[in-house]
Structure 1
């Protein structure tokens, strides 16, 4: 399997995941031309994408999904509540490309299975995804205010995990956001801080299961890539987790493809 974060952050998110036979996107939260350019940069043809799986209806996750579906005849997968919420924003979609999936369901595409699970975020029915093929697993969990037992169960044994490391708490508290927005981000249905991300990784640590971690969905206002990386690294070191073998950290770039990993 392969994974590449095409874009990650509050300005837009899209993640490419492939098995031997299947190719999918998790979200398409930038204009279609940006997603096309990112796919071209990693030598992938948009015509070969088998589906776009939507986590939730916020614009930084769906902005380009309608354009991509219409231009390349790509099916869009989302739960019914998310479909109803995002339809007014994405334009007309061909009937055969409207794929409604149940929450906590498994969707087979060629040699890949896509498992969805609930996440705590202030959207209508947000989900994370675990994608598996031939014994390999990749999980994507961003936009979650709390690392719940359900999230933990679904990602704990994955080979690669893209996990949110959204903000530094002190930067957020003393930063320029208005108070209601600060409360939203810090709430149980907001976003994971760097510290919470590190604690979550400690919680799922298993010496018998080496894995790669991609830190993603960083705030442009309340975080820095170096700060997120160092904060999580410090927490892992404090808990005697070997960051050269047990948990190898990578960063997802907000501006373009990054962390291209093959299993």
Structure 2
């Protein structure tokens, strides 16, 4: 069987959050211990015939409201990689939290790919609970609804193929319909895990990130991403600063902005 053309795969850092405690990242951690910083990423999978942006990050207003440092608006980081944002046709939204589904208007031609269960979760009875709705920005959700009425949302159920070599898989857990993206690259199948595992330590040590909807699904999701990836080194967590250290920049001028994920990581 002929393999499809591999995708180039990139992570782009657009924001960070410093000064976190261990308990901010792991349920049950000592509240007095310092914790790992969080980096905020969007991802790009591209090859000669297709280009997918994975998640759209957040903008200036959300950064101010939530005390995050915005390094650059995601669209600006993508343009530096050579992605013409206003011409992007496919965007995968792993879920609708503020840091993954903001700045939707920066992609005026895109079709957005989302799990149907995530739309139901973000607009349904669970949003009556402040703990569950806190990671959402209501304006982002309203923007998503407007896009749906405009015919620009494609809904997926559990597992779906968006292109030869690129599939989406629902894991849930962190949200009601979180999905991960499995991408065929020159080094094999890489999984953009997004918030199925915020940090490497979450899935490697079976630790739960405190922002969670269903703990059982979250823990089961760790098994799913291991099964989908060719190895642990083929799993890319959603917020770990180590990603920027482990993988090389695609060009010197992109140092600290973007890294290639379709090559093996450096030694840990």
1:50 paired to 2:89: yes
Residues 165 and 215 in structure 1, CA contact (< 8 A), matched pair in contact too: yes
Local SS of the residue matching 2:151: helix
> Residues of 1 paired with 2:237 and 2:116: CA distance?
29
**C-alpha root-mean-square deviation of aligned residues, in Å?**
4.6
TM-score (norm 2): 0.55
- How far apart, CA to CA, are the structure 2 residues paired with 1:251 and 1:28? 22
After TM superposition, list the pairs within 5 Å mapping 1:135-174 onto structure 2: 137-144=189-196, 164-165=199-200
Change (3 A) 1:191 1:216: farther
User: Shift of the alpha carbon at 1:119?
Assistant: 1.9
Aligned residue for 1:4? 10
CA positional deviation for 1:91: 5.8
Shift, 1:20, TM fit: 1.4
Which of 74, 78, 88 aligns to 2:142? It is 88
Q: Given that residues 56 and 123 in structure 1 are in contact (C-alpha distance below 8 angstroms), is that contact kept between their aligned partners in structure 2?
A: yes
Residue of structure 2 equivalent to 1:149: none
Q: How far does residue 63 in structure 1 lie from its aligned partner after superposition?
A: 1.3
State how far apart, in whole Å, the 2-side matches of 1:126 and 1:11 are.
19
* Counterpart in the other structure of 1:258: 258
Given the alignment, which residue of 239, 248, 255 partners 1:217? 239
Unaligned residue ranges in structure 1 (runs of 5+): 146-162, 174-180, 219-223, 230-248
Measure, in 2, the Cα distance between the counterparts of 1:134 and 1:50: 23
Aligned length: 195
Determine if the alignment matches structure 1 residue 77 to structure 2 residue 132: no
Show CA shifts across 1:213-244 (max 9, x none): 655412xxxxx649x97xxxxxxxxxxxxxxx
Deviations 1:187-220 (A, max 9, x none): 555699xxx99xx69x9649xxxx76655412xx
Shift of 1:5: 0.8
1:29-55 per-residue CA deviation (whole Å, 9 max, x = no partner) reads 222971221012112211332211111
Shift of 1:117: 1.4
Unmatched segments (≥5 aa) in structure 2: 1-6, 17-37, 61-71, 124-140, 250-254, 264-268
Distance 1:213 1:167 in 2: 12
Mapped pair 1:39 → 2:78:
yes
Q: Could you list the per-position Cα deviations for residues 14-40 of structure 1 after superposition, in whole angstroms to 9, with x for gaps in the alignment?
A: 111102111111111222971221012
Return the match for 1:22 from 43, 50, 59: 50
Assess, with a 3 A threshold, how the Cα gap between structure 1 residues 166 and 53 changes in structure 2: closer, same or farther: farther
Q: How does 1:236-251 map to 2 (within 5 A)?
A: 249-250=246-247
Query: 1:105 maps to what in 2?
Result: 160
Distance of 1:20 and 1:67 partners within structure 2: 26
When residues 214 and 97 of structure 1 are mapped into structure 2, their CA distance, relative to the original with a 3 A threshold, is same
Query: 1:114 matched to which residue of 2?
Result: 166
